[in-house]
Amino acid sequence: MRPIAYLLLAAISLLGAVAAETRPHYGGTLRVMLQSAPSALDLPANATPAEYWDLSRTLSLIGNTLVRVDVQGRPQPALAVAWQSDASASHWQFTLRRGVKFHDGSAASPAAIAQILGALHSGWNVRAVADSITIESAPPLPSLLAELALPRNLLLKRNANGAPVGTGPFLVAEWQPSQFLKLAANEESWEGRPFVDAVEIEFGKAQRDQAIALELGKADVIEEAPQAASGSQPHSTSSVSLPTELLALVFPVNSRANDPRLREALALAINRKPIQSVLLKGAGEPAASILPNWMTGFSAVFSAQANPQEARILLADSHQPAPNLTYDLSYDPRDPQAQLIAERIALNAREVGITVQVSLSGAEDIRLVRVVLPSPDPTTSLSEAVRQLGLPQAAFSATAGGDALEDLYQTERALLEAHAVIPLFHLPVTTAEGARVRDWSPERRGPWSASRLSLADFWLSDLRSTASRADLPAQAASR
Amino acid sequence: MNRPPSATRYNQRIPHMRARTFSGRGLGWLSSFMLVTVFLPSFSSASPLSDTARQLAHKIAAASGPGAFALEFTNRSSLDEKSVREVRSTLEAQLHVEGVHIAKPEQATGLVEVVLSESLRNYVWTAVIAIGSDEKKVALVSLPRPPTGAAVAPVMPIAVKTALLFAQEQPMLDVALVEMPGGLRLIVLGSDAVSIYDRQGASPSGNSIGRWELETSLPITHARPFPRDLRGRLLQRGDHLFDVYLPGIVCHSTPNAVAPLNLACSETDDPWPLTPDDSVRAFYASTRNFFTGALSPGIGKVSNVPSFYAAAAFQRTNYTLWAFAAVDGSLHLVDGVTDQAIRGASLKWGSDLAAVRSNCGAGTQLVVSESDDTAHETLRDIGHDSLLAFEIPDRDPVAVSAAAEFDGQIAALWPDSAGNGATAIVRKKDTGWYEAYRVSLTCGN
């Protein structure tokens, strides 16, 4: 060995006293801050994307679903260890994991699971049969496994106080609606006891306050605004998911902008690149498709290029706009980036001759919305996006050859050709973790699971700096 | 990792029902690829790429009809240049066969825009066919993406050599190569089974190393949940083939003479052997990922050490020196009389270590896992663990090799039964697959 290299290696090995164990430690309290302030621990159907991710991440610590989907969208066992269906996908059977208990000590028996699932889906006939449950539905359920993996199908009971009782890695220890949730490790978790002893979640924290808390070492995991992976915080790590949200324009039923050529002209007028680079700080991808490319691989077929010249030609053929007609563009005021993006879209529209006014009052003609793409399964995400966008549910095409990719493409193309939605961007979900936070499962930092924001496999490399909320002075804790 | 069970499994078929996977079809072939050759970054010339390119050409021709077309070809996928050239040349050749001739734009009657793209699971290739001002037509084809990447072992004066033994999607806890009747076998310890693989297709000349094919799988049943960070050992034995140690469970294979091979497991908190001759054992915490520190029997007068993740023994002139990687990040050196804690030397040391005999230096080195922890401070990508060899000439360990880096996290590191090497299990950062490496030390360049 070369002497210099040898000495250098030796010197490096003697620097400092910080260990870097590759194996997770047990103990400590993981401190999390979130923006949303839920008054109840459940997932409302009309949740905003921020609420959806926050509550999904929280409830997934408490409960389990029957199945999960992995990073590639393939079903994996959870409370069900095996499953089968008939050829029509109308009759499913799930064999349940044995010996699993709810946090209250009751058995997660087929009867208990069937009762919970049946209550969630009145259209399904859910029955307990020996060590299994069966699900029957008149309309076939070809994407049932992906559906069951969604957070809305977490198998949770409620205790007398309305708090969720599940089978997951953590149980509810303290719940102050809209403010604070403390979760304690479930020693009997069928997945193995989680590494941290507790998770404390403070709700209703503005992103700026979260960033300060992370900087001061008073939080371990926070949310960040979508931006290209930058590491805005020293001594922290940003986790940027694959795009799991769609920012789009939709036209309400009573919109005055009802000429398809006008809508197409508006789509061609929008220059997405500057919006992405400036307003979104490089995050996400310009989009002309509902589903992102990582789900389908064919988004290149739908061009997101601006073409003002073509827009003007289309507009000349359109019955609209009527002289002096101004279209109202609304946005979600809770979305910090929405107003600026809406104003930029209005500017692009005016450049081709469409008068658009950004407004939060009065009847809206165009709405800027952000929707969640909740599953790596493209069919499930497309159905969910259509529901959130308020579009008529698509009848999924079925080609003669049974080509799933071709079917998906034809379905999405049909949706877009109706010009009821103009996709703009696919956006990621971003979190930041403090320096002492480690993630046991590498896939958690990977593309799909990062968007799931699971904290169950986190562990803390340095337990000395743990100052849980309970340790803080009352005044500081209440701020 | 180590969440039992992590792979999709199915019941026996119910007569009128069939198993469904909504999205995993088409990837099953990957699980049969077991050896290094599978992970070559590009497909071989007789690859599915060419077949798929021909499929796309056929669809294009069906949409366009015969004629002269301009071709725009864009690669937005992770395919390497060689593969892209292969796809393009095959596509153009097949188009020609089907009557679609590639022409310059000014001489063409239409345009075909081909984009090689990909989703997480598949390569997806699209072709947009425009003829005059007519509506554009679209053709799509796809094929599964293979896992990518390979471990890197830097060449240094004293080198940690790594050789890939096996790879699979499901978690592995330990592996061992054993001679059995009929030839070499690979035994893989998973979270719920011991799987035995037979090598098929190896040529006597050594030109082909063949591939491992599953011969049998011996299930491991357990009533108590396993810890999240599940660890397990596979120990070769003299009077029978092997023993398996898992948290709260010990399994023994049936004696060699008994066929077929079987596994008898019992729930017990018996201590795990730390040495091949069982001279020192240690109790494992059945709901955690570490040894409690209680030794049975002790090392000389020392019968308790702090809780530890891994231990290794060095033969010295008159005694055996033991090194323990403690849960608190310190290194404990135990010589039978004293327990010496070293904290400053453990910078970047991981939780796993193994003693490996070599023909260089002191004869036995400590192979230690390292986490690329500085990434956390510099916001670089994390998750690239490495192995480094150390010697302990006096009190402090001294590095004697450069790091052998892996593209993922080291999930396990165990010494082999002969003490001449170790087995490292790595979870790949990009694919999530598990790879088992044989680790050895060599001297000089």
The model's pTM? 0.77
Please give the share of chain B, as a percent, with pLDDT higher than 90: 42
**Which tokens is A357 given?**
């006014």
The distance of A440 to chain B (nearest Cα, Å) reads 7
Q: Residue A142 and residue B18: Cβ atoms within 8 Å? A: no
Q: What is the pLDDT of residue A73?
A: 79
User: Quick check: is B12 in a domain?
Assistant: no
Low-confidence ranges of chain A (pLDDT < 50): 1-20, 442-452, 471-479
- The pLDDT assigned to A387 comes to 92
Do residues B280 and B424 both lie within one domain? yes
Residue B34, CA distances (Å) to A291, A336, B21, B39, B170 in order: 34, 49, 23, 9, 12
Question: Which residues in chain A have Cβ-Cβ distances shorter than 8 Å to B288?
Answer: 26
The vertex-B59 CA angle with B53 and B60, nearest 5°, equals: 90
Per-residue model confidence as pLDDT tens digits over A307-343:
999 999 988 877 655 656 899 999 998 888 899 999 9
B349 within some domain:
yes
More confident residue, B133 or B27: B133
Q: What is the pLDDT of residue B304?
A: 93
**CATH code of the domain in which B394 resides:** 2.130.10
Give me the sign of the Cα torsion angle A68, A71, A75, A78.
negative
One-letter-per-residue 3-state SS of chain B: CCCCCCCCCCCCCCCCCECCCCCCCCCHHHHHCCCHHHHCCCCCCCCHHHHHHHHHHHHHHHHHCCEEEEEEEEECCCCCHHHHHHHHHHHHHHHHHCCEEECCHHHCCEEEEEEEEECCCEEEEEEEEEECCCCCEEEEEEEECCCCCCCCCCCCCCEEEEEEEEEECCCCCEEEEEEECCEEEEEEECCCEEEEEEEECCCCCCCCCCEEEEEEEEECCCCCCCCCCCCCEEEECCCECEEEEECCEEEEECECCCCCCCEEEEECCCCEECCCCCCCEEEECCCCCCEEEEEEEEECCEEECCCEEEEEEEECCCCEEEEEEECCCCEEEECCCCEEEECHHHECEEEEEEEEECCCCCCEEEEEEECCCHHHHHCCCCCCCEEEEEECCCCCCEECCCCEECCEEEEEEEECCCCCCEEEEEEECCCCCEEEEEEEEECCC
CB A430 within 8 A of CB A241: yes
- For residue A210, the model assigns a pLDDT of 93
Half-sphere exposure of B14 (CA within 13 A, CB side): 20
Each residue of B219-267: pLDDT tens digit? Answer: 998 888 999 999 999 999 888 889 999 999 999 998 766 678 889 999 9
Q: In Å, how far are B9, B343, B353 from B367, measured between CA atoms?
A: 37, 18, 5
Residues B98, B195 share a domain: no
Mean of the per-residue pLDDT values of chain B = 80
Tell me which chain A residues have a C-beta less than 8 angstroms from the C-beta of B229: 23-24, 192, 195, 440
Q: Which of B110, B144, B178 is the last residue of a domain?
A: B144
Residue B151 lies in a domain: no
A21 CB neighbours in chain B (<8 A) are 309, 329, 349-351, 371
CB spacing of A13 vs B429 below 8 angstroms: no
Which amino acid is residue A170, in one-letter code? F
From B93, B119, B144, give the residue that closes a domain.
Answer: B144
Q: What is the pLDDT of residue B155?
A: 36
Q: Is B27 inside a domain boundary?
A: no
Task: From B97, B120, B144, give the residue that closes a domain.
Answer: B144
**Predicted pLDDT of residue A107:** 97
Residues B138 and B255 in one domain: no
When CB atoms are compared, the residue of A14, A81, A300 closest to B76 is A300
In chain B, how many domains are there? 2
Say if residue B108 is in the same domain as residue B188: no
- On whether the CB atoms of residues B160 and B367 are closer than 8 A, the answer is yes
Residue B322 domain flag: yes
- Asked if B111 and B191 sit in the same domain, the reply is no
Question: Is pLDDT of B65 > 80?
Answer: yes
Q: What letter represents residue B366's amino acid?
A: L
CB contact under 8 A, A446 and B118: no
CB A69 within 8 Å of CB B3: no
Beta partners for B166? B436
For B76-124, how does the pLDDT look when each residue is reduced to its tens digit (9 = 90+)? 888 888 899 999 999 999 999 999 999 998 888 889 999 999 988 889 9
| CATH at residue B132 | 3.40.50.10610
pLDDT of residue A418: 82
Q: Is residue B105 part of a domain?
A: yes
B77 and B180 belong to one structural domain: no
Q: What residues in A contact B5, CB-CB < 8 Å?
A: 77, 81
Q: Which residue has the higher pLDDT, B46 or B175?
A: B175
Asked whether residue B94 falls in the same domain as residue B52, the answer is yes
Domain for residue B9, yes or no? no
Same domain, B206 and B305: yes
What is residue A283's predicted lDDT score, i.e. its pLDDT? 86
Q: Note whether B223 contacts A145, CB cutoff 8 Å.
A: no
For residue B18, the Cα-to-chain-centroid distance in whole angstroms is 32
Say what percent of chain B tops pLDDT 70: 80
Same structural domain for residues B268 and B333? yes
Domain interval for residue B110: 48-144
User: Rounded CA gap, A463 and A471, in Å?
Assistant: 14
Q: Answer yes or no: do B211 and B100 share one domain.
A: no
- Counting one residue from A and one from B, how many pairs have CB atoms under 8 Å apart? 252
Contact yes or no for B309 and A71 at CB 8 A: no
Whether B312 maps to a domain, the answer reads yes
Tokens at A165, concatenated: 């009782």
Residues of chain A contacting residue B158, judged by C-beta atoms under 8 Å apart: 1
Q: Looking at the structure, do residues B165 and B286 belong to the same domain, yes or no? A: yes
What separation in angstroms does the CA of A415 have from each of A42, A250, A289, A410, B90?
31, 12, 10, 9, 34
Report yes or no for ipTM above 0.90: no
Chain B residues whose beta carbon lies within 8 Å of the beta carbon of residue A377: 22-23
| Shared domain check, B127 and B216 | no
Q: Which domains are seen in chain A, by residue range?
A: 26-63+156-240+430-479 (3.40.190.10), 64-153 (3.90.76.10), 245-427 (3.10.105.10)
Residue of B309, B330, B379 to mutate, testing the A interface (most A Cβ within 10 Å of its Cβ):
B379
